[in-house]
Amino acid sequence: MAFPGTYNFSYYRGDTYEFNVIPRKSDGTVLDNLSGYDATFTISTSRGADGSANQITAYTNVTDAAIECAITPSDSDALTLATTYVYDVEISDPDATPYPKTYTVLTGTITVTEQVSGA
């Protein structure tokens, strides 16, 4: 599999930010059956153990062919302005045989911009 992809984006604080991840195999074809997989979308101030105390787990939902991800307005309360965050989206199948499987399908950075209204 050709993971992880990279996607860097800006987030406007207080908004809902949605995107879908469609995992592809190394030959470019879509990994078309995600049934049985769980997904996590984790945002942090840094990678590895240093960032574990500052993690936010955002919304995910797995369909047959895509991972739906979202940062909700309530998630934005934990995001500090002028901080560049890192994130990853992982899928896992703990019941796969002959062993459990985990794949990081997307990673990148998030910059946060303060809103004008609704502060």
Residue 40 belongs to a domain with what CATH number? 2.60.40.10
pLDDT for res 7: 94
Contact (Cβ atoms closer than 8 angstroms) between residue 47 and residue 16: no
Contact (Cβ atoms closer than 8 angstroms) between residue 89 and residue 67: yes
Mean local confidence (pLDDT), 73-102? 90
What ranges make up the beta strands (E) of 1-119? 5-6, 9-12, 17-21, 38-44, 56-62, 67-71, 84-93, 101-113
Residue 59 maps to a domain: yes
Q: Can you say whether residue 77 is alpha, beta or left, with left for phi > 0 and alpha for psi between -120 and 50 degrees? A: alpha
Residue 84 maps to a domain: yes
Mean local confidence (pLDDT), 109-115? 91
Residue 67 maps to a domain: yes
Beta-carbon count within 10 A of 47 CB: 12
Q: Is 41 helix (H, G, I), strand (E, B) or coil?
A: strand
Domain limits at 90?
5-113
What domain count does the chain have?
1
Residue range 18-75, pLDDT digits in tens: 999 988 777 877 776 788 889 999 999 988 877 776 788 899 999 888 999 999 999 8
Phi first, then psi, for residue 24 (nearest 5°) are: -125, 150
Q: Global pTM?
A: 0.86
**Does 87 score more than 90 pLDDT?**
yes
Percent of the chain scoring above 90 in pLDDT: 44
pLDDT for res 1: 55
Which of 67, 87, 86, 58 minimizes the C-alpha distance to 22? 67
Residue 27 maps to a domain: yes
